[in-house]
């Protein structure tokens, strides 16, 4: 039965763009007006879609990913005046068969949200409370992890880029169709946490002879990264000209979180030099720096 399920799922879900389309349509069917889509490694490591739609009723959560379960039609008549994208109850179950799926949901009736972890057959295997607000977030990890040939087929940057382009085109189409919809797509998002002292704050200033007071981490790993350090210093020079004129820098801390697959830590044996697939964009640091009493901000 598992093999049959896998085979039929492979036909429904053949690529990242299928997953995104099915999940997006579920969000639209749930009346969402805001949908955020996040991909890591072109979606092959992680696809996450968060919406602010109706949420899934507690009574439906046990069966939501069971093959052919749908809450969208009750009778044969409903088929004649179908107003939803989905009605076959196939998508969620099929995605479960080819990825690790978790669904977090909260309706207006629920006091708190719940995160459900599903297994390969679409059954709920565990659940825990979630802080997320009304709506549904579906997260699919390790797409095609059990289909090595398909995974291999996509292990090619050119193919992956084509896939990403398809996702962008798809989203563009829905965005044009529904101007009231707020739709975002992020790929390999960089999260920056940091600490910079406020201007004028009494803090231990380093000097040019003792400049090494900027702590930079990538994925919690301390690194000596000249290019990032340069961006941080540039930022500081612009923000605090008085101090920078003296060539003094305060103690600063920056932790950059990127998907593990986009960083190579084996450049040097001590792993303090790393290679980032994408340059940390200056604009991200800049938006980060606009907050003056920096505790932490997600860029």
What residues line the site for ligand ADP (CB under 6 A)?
A: 22, 26-27, 30, 51, 53-54, 56, 60, 64, 69-72, 86-93, 136
Supply the DSSP symbol for 277. S
- Tell me the DSSP string of 83-116: -SS--S--HHHHHHHHSEEEEEEE-SS-SSEEEE
Total residue count of the chain as it appears in this document: 299
Helix (H) or strand (E) holding 276: strand 275-276
Partner whose binding site includes residue 48, from ligand ADP, Mg ion, none (CB under 5 to 8 Å by kind) = none
Task: Report the nearest approach of ligand ADP to the CB of residue 60 (Å).
Answer: 5
Angstrom distance (rounded) from CA 39 to CA 160: 12
Partner whose binding site includes residue 140, from Mg ion, ligand ADP, none (CB under 5 to 8 Å by kind) = none
Q: Which residue is nearest to Mg ion (CB)?
A: 86
Please give the structure tokens belonging to residue 68.
């052919």
158 burial type by CB count under 10 A (0-12 exposed, 13-18 middle, 19+ buried): exposed
Supply the DSSP symbol for 81. G
Partner whose binding site includes residue 193, from Mg ion, ligand ADP, none (CB under 5 to 8 Å by kind) = none
Judged by CB under 5 A, the stretch of 47-55, 91-99, 157-165, 267-275 that binds Mg ion is 91-99
Task: Report the nearest approach of ligand ADP to the CB of residue 24 (Å).
Answer: 9
Task: Report the nearest approach of ligand ADP to the CB of residue 234 (Å).
Answer: 42
Instruction: Kindly tell me which of 71 and 115 has the beta carbon lying closer to ligand ADP.
Output: 71
Considering only residues 8 through 27, tell me which ones interact with Mg ion, judged by CB under 5 A: 26
Q: Which residues bind Mg ion (CB under 5 A)?
A: 26, 86, 91
């Amino acid at each position: 039965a598992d093999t049959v399920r896998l085979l039929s799922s492979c036909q429904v879900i053949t690529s990242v763009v299928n997953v995104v389309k099915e999940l997006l349509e579920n969000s639209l069917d749930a009346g969402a007006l805001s949908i955020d889509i996040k991909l890591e490694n072109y979606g092959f490591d992680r696809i996450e879609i968060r919406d602010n739609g109706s949420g899934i009723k507690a009574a439906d959560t046990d069966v939501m990913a069971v093959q052919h379960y749908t809450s969208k039609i009750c009778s044969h008549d409903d088929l004649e005046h179908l107003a939803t994208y989905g009605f076959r109850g196939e998508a969620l179950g099929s995605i479960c068969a080819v990825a690790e799926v978790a669904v977090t949901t909260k309706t207006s009736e629920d006091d708190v949200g719940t995160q459900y972890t599903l297994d390969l057959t679409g059954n709920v295997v565990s659940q825990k409370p979630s802080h997320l607000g009304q709506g549904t977030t579906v997260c699919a990890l390790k797409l095609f992890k059990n289909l090595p040939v398909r995974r291999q087929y996509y292990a090619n940057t050119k193919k992956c880029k084509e896939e990403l382009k398809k996702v962008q085109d798809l989203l563009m189409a829905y965005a044009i169709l529904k101007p009231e919809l707020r739709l975002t797509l992020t790929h390999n998002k960089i999260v920056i946490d940091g600490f910079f002292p406020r201007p004028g704050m009494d803090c231990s200033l380093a000097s040019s002879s003792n400049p090494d007071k900027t702590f930079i981490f990538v994925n919690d790993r301390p690194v000596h990264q000249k290019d990032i350090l340069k961006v941080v210093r540039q930022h500081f020079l612009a923000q605090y000209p008085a101090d920078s004129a003296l060539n003094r820098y305060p103690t600063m801390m920056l932790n950059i979180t990127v998907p593990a697959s986009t960083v190579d830590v084996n450049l040097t044996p001590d792993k303090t030099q790393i290679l980032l697939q994408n340059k940390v964009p200056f604009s991200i640091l800049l938006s980060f720096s606009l907050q003056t009493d920096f505790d932490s901000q997600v860029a």
